[in-house]
Structure 1
């Protein structure tokens, strides 16, 4: 086993969504086990052409639209609507989605000219967005500052919720579920490094699932 780890050498070229922190820990653990592998990570929200851009494996959030790629489902999660206790104390805990109009909101958006709607259960809300950004860390910072209601991935929201620096809102009206897939070109014989990485990801998934667990609300 040790000799196999020592013999595995080369480059692994990955594409990840921005701010997907649990996968940073996975890559670090992978390189600790296989120190001879050099990893290149391109962090982007853009749907890259894996063959043209020279990417071995991409982590994709959402529907897979490129039929020529192989997709391996690894995880599903829902973003969480959150606010600071200070903001909730000021405006009250919203009991239904329409009550969000009392709050300033910050939203994730991939483009400036795209309107954002939150699907909360069977309700659709157009939040009063004072900030739009494609950086979830920025949204988390503004929520922690007590300025806005926002949605966060569970791996960013979990620790502040446990520490009572953020509170989950409208948990009875869940946001849509996102599917997470590993996507790679359909080579008949993937490289040893790619096969090893895919197997490692599968084994590491319980750690990722734990990072995305915010626990029971309240």
Structure 2
């Protein structure tokens, strides 16, 4: 059996299309297509169903993929172990929310731990199509329910109400949630968001943000300038709270937590690079942030 043809087949399946596989491996599409066709001819079975939307495994292709992937991967890692001081090398294509600074430090530490892994990081708050966009792992604040992907909750983020002390030279400090929502609110919003509500026991408080944006750092800047109050992730404002630049409001008021999900394609055997990244993220979060 042709090792290179089998490896090409596995890359195409993991990437979802010949185009994405070509971008990740720097191998021309024509070469990948020829290799997979030769493999199918050698085996005497069709492994992939090809379409404009990408590729889909046939029943026999699924069996072949599951039984060969782990073997190919182990063979590659054994080769790299004796040839290099680093066990993993290749490309990792990620998607994270815009301005998500918590993950910036994580990615720097990840590449320090795995210096031979090249990282492409796509910044977007939309639900990317892992296969169409060629993304290995996406970080999102909501779970995706489909049998095509795995949504792994990596942690949850606490949130806090914050404001600049100088804001209360112009307004009375709030001591209830109703008082708080009568003050200028800075809030996260997308282009289609029209209604803003806060659930207080069984009552819904409707409010209109004084300032709204889908840039969380713009909200933080706005609050620092004493323009309003915001509900922000605790990790983002910890330094401001410690220095007194911002103060926390209504600390005993129940506030939402933000779940973080790592989303990746549903393969029986994710690649070694993806497995290393998933494990690194979980360990890094536990080591640096007691967020759970």
- SS of residue paired to 2:157: strand
Q: Take 2:204 and 2:245, find their aligned partners in 1: how far apart are those partners?
A: 27
What is the RMSD of the two structures over their aligned residues, measured on CA atoms?
Answer: 2.2
Q: Which has the higher contact order (CA 8 A, sep 6+)?
A: 1
Matched, 1:129 2:209: yes
2:152 paired residue among 72, 76, 79: 72
1:103 equivalent in structure 2: 183
Q: CA deviation at 1:120?
A: 5.3
- Map 1:1-218 to 2 at 5 A: 6-119=86-199, 124-210=204-290
Instruction: List structure 1 runs of 4+ shifted beyond 4 angstroms.
Output: 120-123
Normalized per residue, the structure richer in helix is 2
Please give the per-residue CA displacement for 1:40-85, whole angstroms capped at 9, x wherever unaligned: 1111110111111111011111233334311222101232211111
Question: What is residue 216 of structure 1 aligned with on the other side?
Answer: none
Choose 26-35 or 60-69, whichever is displaced more: 60-69
Stretch moving more, 153-162 or 138-147: 153-162
Cα gap change, 1:123 to 1:94, in 2 (>3 Å) = farther
TM-score in terms of structure 2 length? 0.66
Task: List runs of 5+ in structure 2 lacking aligned partners.
Answer: 1-80
- Structure 1: runs of 5 or more not aligned: 214-218
Greater Rg over alpha carbons, structure: 2
- The answer as to whether partners of 1:109 and 1:116 remain within 8 angstroms in 2 is no
